[in-house]
Amino acid sequence: MEQQKLPNVTLALVLGILSFLCCCFAGLPGALVAAIAFFILRNDEKTYRANPENYSNYSQLKTAKIIAIVGMVIGVLYFLWSVFQIYQIGGWDAYMEKVQEMSEQWGGQN
């Protein structure tokens, strides 16, 4: 019997790589995308464990899983760093005040 490829490994690999790009937006979007990839990979891993001889791309699954985990960790760390930075400048109100000042300084509101 010809070996098949696990159905969602490529999608999870793309989502894992995309999570690195999304980590630039306060971390949570990247962590969420990586978590989705990780969830998809868990389902494919169960499929593989049921019949390992039927599938040929388990090494790609392991690679995608590592990328998803790293993306989640980076996203969560970046989010925690952002929360810490907001706390350091005096909380959410002080942060919004700084944003308002910068907006006025750069001509955002005339």
E-assigned strands of the chain? Answer: none
Provide the mean pLDDT of the chain. 89
Q: pLDDT tens digits for 40-97?
A: 999 999 999 999 999 989 999 999 999 999 999 999 999 999 899 999 999 999 989 9
pTM attached to this predicted model: 0.81
Task: Give the largest CA-CA distance in the chain.
Answer: 71
Q: What is the DSSP secondary structure assignment for residue 53, as one 8-state letter?
A: G
Exposure string of 7-22, with b = 16+ CB inside 10 Å and e = fewer, is ebbeebbebbbbbbeb
Angle at 72 (CA atoms; ends 35, 32), nearest 5 degrees: 40
